[in-house]
Amino acid sequence: MRPSYVKLVETVKLPRMALVRQHFAAQDVDDPAHAVHDALAGAGFVRERIRPGMSVALTVGSRGLASLPELVRAIVGELRTLGAEPFIVPSMGSHGGATAEGQVKVLAQLGVTEASAGCPIRSSMETVEVGVLDNGMSVRIDKLAYEADGIVLFNRIKPHSAFRWENESGLAKMLAIGLGKQSGADNCHAWGFNYVGRFVVEMARVKLATCKVLFGIGTVENAYDRLSKVVVLPTEGMIEKERVFLAEAMRNMPRLPLGPLDQPLASGPLDVLLVDYVGKEFSGSGMDPNITGRPSTTAIKGGPSVSRIVVLDVTDKSQGNANGVARADVITERLFDRFDRESVYTNSLTSGVLIAASLPMAMPDEKTAIQAAVKTCESHTPDAITMIRIPNTLHLEYLYASEALLPQLVGRPGVEIMSEPAPMRFDADGRLLDPWPIGH
């Protein structure tokens, strides 16, 4: 039986939508293995730091980096060619349920296994203390990595979804939080996200001074979620050098076609943002607040001003970890039922952002969820709702825009309107039928 409150939205008229394509300026790396080889060969200090037979711990995190399995295998192969004996250390703070087995499982879900990488994966949550910050906070590092003959940091360099600082997601964060395991993540987040960036840098400096970090390998991605660049940074000045690539990564970010073109992050008002999927492979926050304008913390600002956000589902890869879906206003009962409290609560308690574990209003199906958002978006022009539908917050090449938005998009650089506006289509169960282009 349908809940009685559904009657309040059943007659809400939905806007007609048109398929839109965004064209972003982007540099692509066609061969990840070749890019790794060239980057390592071009860094003269690399060969000087690898001794034959030395054990090298390679960090691999929990994010869905572009070409991750290929990159990991290539790095392992290059280290072996130089005479090292590499092994992978899962480096993801508290992710994977904060267990050694769970972190290995996360890597497997990302396509990284011992077979794919060509080397062992050694996972443990045990850490050792290597220093203390001025505020008395313990600085800890994965014990297996600490006991290796050397550590090679590997991570994507990009803007963080919960704080702004000179270093955000990248090699410094991998060193401070990823290799810090549960305790490192707890300590970095202990004072809240307004301090995370500061502690990431301070802890990274301690570890660079006390641990056997050989060098770092960073990737930069383009607006299409594809590999754009591989860089190798020495330990000397690593923190400062990484900042140049963070700025590049921010310029590369995709955005909604709203607001001034000369701003790295989108701005501008929107009545409704419809997101098909949240997922950890798209953002640590499930849906990136740099795109939605809905951060879970006060340590990040920017993005559009959206009146209502609807989320339809969580990806299978996330296994119910719908962390951050609290920033939506309406979800479906399907997403509500798939919400895994264990994984979401672990993330939220570690980060200290308890609101990220909340759940919004859940409507019976996709149609009524969208209708609820449109009904309550407080538009002054209910017959001209501005709405954008996206598959997720990482892939913004294709989107659907409401008819009322099209005048703003016509002639906007990099925007192509691919279809005439048409009514949104649903099946008998209220599931949205309008498809994304094949291969998207």
Residues 271-298 have pLDDT tens digits of 999 999 998 778 777 788 888 888 766 6
CB 361 within 8 A of CB 375: no
Backbone CA torsion sign across 272, 276, 282, 285: positive
Whether pLDDT at 186 is above 90:
no
Residue 302's pLDDT is what? Answer: 65
Residue 301's pLDDT is what? Answer: 67
Residue 265's pLDDT is what? Answer: 60
Among the listed residues 174, 201, 214, 13, the one whose alpha carbon sits nearest the alpha carbon of residue 89: 174
CB 46 within 8 A of CB 281: no
Residue 11's pLDDT is what? Answer: 94
Residues 406-425 have pLDDT tens digits of 999 999 999 999 999 999 99
- Alpha carbons 111 and 94: distance in angstroms, whole number: 20
- Alpha carbons 112 and 106: distance in angstroms, whole number: 9
Residue 182's pLDDT is what? Answer: 79
Amino acid code (one letter) for 211: C
CB 173 within 8 A of CB 155: yes
Residue 6's pLDDT is what? Answer: 93
Q: Considering only 85-99, 147-161, 372-386, 387-401, which range has the smallest mean pLDDT?
A: 85-99
Q: What is the four-CA torsion angle of 429, 433, 436, 438, rounded to 10 degrees?
A: 100
Q: What is the four-CA torsion angle of 311, 313, 315, 318, rounded to 10 degrees?
A: 80
Ramachandran category for residue 160: left, alpha or beta (phi over 0 → left; psi -120 to 50 → alpha): beta
Helices H, strands E: what count in the chain?
A: 15, 15
Q: What is the four-CA torsion angle of 9, 12, 17, 23, rounded to 10 degrees?
A: -50
Write out the two tokens for 409. Answer: 């998009």
User: What's the whole-number mean pLDDT along residues 345-371?
Assistant: 88
Strand pairing of 361-363 and 330-332?
Answer: parallel
- Alpha carbons 98 and 93: distance in angstroms, whole number: 7
pLDDT band with cut points at 50, 70 and 90 for residue 348? confident
- Alpha carbons 358 and 178: distance in angstroms, whole number: 25
User: What's the whole-number mean pLDDT along residues 66-84?
Assistant: 97
CB 167 within 8 A of CB 245: no
Of residues 334 and 2, the one with the higher pLDDT is 334
Q: Is 84 helix (H, G, I), strand (E, B) or coil?
A: coil
